[in-house]
Structure 1
Amino acid sequence: MKLHYQLNIAFTTLLLVILSVTGFIIYSLILDLLIQDEQRQLEQKGEILVSVLNQEFDDRQNTQQFREFLQDQDLQLFMFDRQGSRVLYSTMPSQIARGFVATNDFSDENEPLWEYGNDKYVTSRILFYPESAGLELILLTPLNDLQAVQHNFFVRLLVVFLIGAAAAVILSYIFTNKLVTPLTRLKKQLKKIEKRQFDQIEPIKATGEIKEVEQSVFEMADELQQYMKTQQAFFQNASHELKTPLMTIQGYAEGIRDRVFDKEDEEKGLEVMVTEVKRLKTIINEMILLAKLDSEQSVYHPKRIEVASLVNQVLDRTLPLKNEKHVLIHYSSEPGVTLYADEEKLLQALLNVTVNAIRHAHSLVNISVKKSNEVTTIVVEDDGEGITKDLLPHIFHRFVKGNNGETGLGLAISRAIVEQSNGTISVETSDYGGAKFVLTFS
């Protein structure tokens, strides 16, 4: 079932439950309110009657006029003598009056409803003055009249509820349609991403969280497109990098087999073949390492390491190359800086960056380590010619080589290791004129 219908069904069900519970409560309460209101009205009428009777018929002598006056009021009532516990007079027919007397306890003052046959009556009791006389006027109203009012009120309330529910359902349909439509359009864009139709992706109009999802989807599509392009470039570059040494080896091998070289060229060819095999082996090993770094978490064994010790190992291993290039390495670090990372892998990443800096430096490489607000920064910069602007955005991609580069995988490996160590690596132009690599860990 579509989300649009699910939301409408859920909202309608919830609305019906709320209206049903509300209607039931109102239906139950309205009768009690009507009974209380009717009792108040009967009490007011009774008090007026008692007041008139006390004033006009105080002597109680003219019994006939007294009864005629009560009969003219068109009320259902009893005149009850508390002291004698007997009914003195009633405006009802004698048979009905006797039925009331037989069915109900007139001395019970707390009973609000009396019964006669299948009907119920609301009662209100008013004492004559003085109270010591023990005379009481009891007025009655059929409950059926109040139930009719209750029913009439509930029917009107039901009509209002139905109109409100219909309006709410229509509004729900409009709003859910407004909510679901962007999701439906977003689904179509995802289908385009699934089919790799990145050029046909279109933005959609949305607000709130859906807009954030839409932005995330488009960012994901851009990343996926860039990744696919990078993978394409990787395979193209990899095939080229592997093909070149293989063709060289094949050419010299066929020449030696066919004896087209003299002895001196043959020895030279064998040396070239050995060199190319070593180069091919290096490329393959780095490709395997890079694949493991991207896909296997088990190759990482993080622990707490001293950054100063790590940099000292880098300085020791780059000493021969530094002396060969006649480059001065200046190193500065804050004391006690530590990182939680795989020491061997991070050493390789920092070594790749430092070797790259030494190769391109004219005379100076600067390594500095700083820590601020739980963020550790390692900076490696040189005074060489730097990285060209067109190469700068792609320097960490696979098989991207600058001048004097070897396999084009060293910086890609460094980036993979740094990112797996919860860090980032970036490159910019150094104040010394060369490249500046910044490794940040938090």
Structure 2
Amino acid sequence: MLASAALFVYLRLRADLDDRIDASLDSRLAALIEPQRQLSLAGVALEDPEETFVQLMSPTGEVLDSVGTLRGPALSTAEVRRATAESVTLERGFPGVDGRTRVLAHLAGGDGAAVVVVGQSLLDRNDALSNVFYSFVIGGAVAILFASLIGYLLATAGLAPVEAMRRRAREVSLSPSDEGLPLPDTHDEIRRLGETLNEMLARLRAAFERESRFVADASHELRTPIAIIKTELEGALQSAASEASVHTSLAAAVEECDRLAQLAEDLLVIARAADGQLPVRPETTQVAELLGGVRDRFAGRATRRGRAILVEVEPDLSLIADPLRLRQALGNLVENALRHGDGDIMLVGRGAAGGLEIDVADEGPGFPPHLAARAFERFARGDRARTGEGVGLGLAIVQAIAEAHGGRARVVDIAPTTLRIWLPSAVT
């Protein structure tokens, strides 16, 4: 931009100087070719003989008269002949004249007896242009250096918050007490970048805390059955143990092994879901058949507890999904209702925007308010559930299966309890 502006000014100045020189030559030539003037240069005075000259030349190229420092003809014979027909303007160097000279020639009088040639050295014009050129070069260099310095200072000041965030990022941790990246007292893109990075760190911190809690809870859940198995097997190995007590201990150990196997399977399902690798084999599934199958599976247990499982489905309701995974998810919801709920259990299927909803409701006391928001997290259990048989993975598996189908699970009502799975009409 600076170079373009300088070039424009330079070319404009040169054009203006050339116009002034041409105007001066035209004025001098007009005075010399007046019709009433004799074809002689007697009495012609030059402002600066060192820089200008006037010649009177014959049509054959001979110099009839000359004023100034030029020695020899200013024009060639061909140029003189051309000047007899039209004005001739040219630029060239001459011996005895410094620099190049601008020349204007025109026929004097109407009889073609002579051609008047006037010339002016371009030395002053070239000196002026040279001064302007070097001024632009020096001024441009200074301006570039100054602009570079200002740009460096502005960039340093502008990037100082980024550098502060970079230094802080080297020390950042996922500890809950970590304050995150420092934010500048501005409202620009850098602050928004810092806010976004802090939000990302908060998500990473939350994920790290969930994983840490998951590992701790999994370790706790694994430790209990292992301790029971060890105790039962040690009891069975005692020499004084009767055959009946040995059988009882081994049966308890087998039961705990089954619990360990189920826990390992549940953990595997959740791990695959977290990595997006939970296998789903979609097919056309009738919701009435799906809910009816779940009801029949748990009907005996519900009856023994004096409860009933009821199904209510809109006619011809279907979806494209993995029926085995959905039966597993709904089975976990019914299992949760049987263990921790009360009264009859309702399985309700209905169409919803873009898909369908399946509700599992019971008449129990419901979730504690502090637990409802994270009911579908891994190992999330209420105080009553911690003394029961479950390990807190059932609802987490429900959420994993729902998300694998592009849906979600959530708590709709706390008391009485209603858990809902929303699923799209087809798995994408």
Q: TM-score, normalised by structure 1?
A: 0.76
Partners in 2 of 1:119 and 1:376 — Cα distance?
95
In 2 relative to 1, CA 235–100 (structure 1 residues): closer, same or farther, beyond 3 Å? Answer: same
Cα distance, 1:256 vs structure 2: 2.3
Note the alpha carbon deviations across 1:230-260, whole angstroms, 9 max, x for none.
Answer: 2222222222212222222222222222155
In 2 relative to 1, CA 22–309 (structure 1 residues): closer, same or farther, beyond 3 Å? Answer: same
Aligned match of 2:310 = 328
Aligned match of 2:91 = 113
Instruction: For 1:358-397, list aligned pairs within 5 A.
Output: 360=341, 362-372=343-353, 375-384=354-363, 385-397=365-377
Aligned match of 1:245 = 225
Cα distance, 1:345 vs structure 2: 4.0
Partners in 2 of 1:199 and 1:285 — Cα distance?
35
Instruction: For 1:114-263, list aligned pairs within 5 A.
Output: 114-117=92-95, 120-125=99-104, 127=106, 133=112, 136-194=115-173, 196=175, 198-205=177-184, 207-259=187-239, 261-262=241-242
Aligned match of 1:58 = 36
Would you say 1:416 and 2:409 are equivalent positions?
no
Aligned equivalent of 2:381, options 394, 401, 409: 401
Cα distance, 1:333 vs structure 2: 7.2
Cα distance, 1:363 vs structure 2: 2.0
In 2 relative to 1, CA 362–106 (structure 1 residues): closer, same or farther, beyond 3 Å? Answer: farther
Aligned match of 1:313 = 290
Cα distance, 1:316 vs structure 2: 0.9
Cα distance, 1:116 vs structure 2: 2.2
In 2 relative to 1, CA 133–280 (structure 1 residues): closer, same or farther, beyond 3 Å? Answer: same
Aligned match of 1:91 = 67
Contact 1:397–1:412 under 8 Å retained in 2: yes
Q: TM-score, normalised by structure 2?
A: 0.78
Partners in 2 of 1:346 and 1:161 — Cα distance?
75
Instruction: For 1:39-58, list aligned pairs within 5 A.
Output: 39-53=18-32, 58=36
In 2 relative to 1, CA 345–333 (structure 1 residues): closer, same or farther, beyond 3 Å? Answer: same
In 2 relative to 1, CA 232–54 (structure 1 residues): closer, same or farther, beyond 3 Å? Answer: closer
- The aligned length equals 407
Contact 2:165–2:181 under 8 Å retained in 1: no
Give the match's secondary structure for 1:97. Answer: coil
Cα distance, 1:398 vs structure 2: 1.9
Give the match's secondary structure for 1:67. Answer: coil
Contact 2:107–2:116 under 8 Å retained in 1: yes
Fraction of identical pairs, as percent: 17
Aligned match of 1:7 = none
In 2 relative to 1, CA 105–219 (structure 1 residues): closer, same or farther, beyond 3 Å? Answer: same
Give the match's secondary structure for 1:398. Answer: coil
Give the match's secondary structure for 1:224. Answer: helix
Aligned match of 1:288 = 268
Note the alpha carbon deviations across 1:296-322, whole angstroms, 9 max, x for none.
Answer: 63x53565x44x536633431342314
Contact 1:358–1:365 under 8 Å retained in 2: no
Partners in 2 of 1:333 and 1:164 — Cα distance?
81
Which residue identity does 2:310 align to in structure 1? L
Query: Whose helix fraction is larger, Structure 1's or Structure 2's?
Result: 1
Partners in 2 of 1:43 and 1:440 — Cα distance?
89
In 2 relative to 1, CA 119–275 (structure 1 residues): closer, same or farther, beyond 3 Å? Answer: same
In 2 relative to 1, CA 220–78 (structure 1 residues): closer, same or farther, beyond 3 Å? Answer: same
Would you say 1:276 and 2:256 are equivalent positions?
yes
In 2 relative to 1, CA 364–115 (structure 1 residues): closer, same or farther, beyond 3 Å? Answer: same
CA RMSD of aligned residues (A): 3.8
Contact 2:411–2:418 under 8 Å retained in 1: yes
Cα distance, 1:113 vs structure 2: 1.3
Partners in 2 of 1:351 and 1:105 — Cα distance?
111
Contact 1:400–1:408 under 8 Å retained in 2: yes
Aligned match of 1:14 = none
Note the alpha carbon deviations across 1:188-216, whole angstroms, 9 max, x for none.
Answer: 33223357585243532165443333223
Cα distance, 1:135 vs structure 2: 5.1
Note the alpha carbon deviations across 1:374-397, whole angstroms, 9 max, x for none.
Answer: x43534241433221121233222
In 2 relative to 1, CA 60–98 (structure 1 residues): closer, same or farther, beyond 3 Å? Answer: same
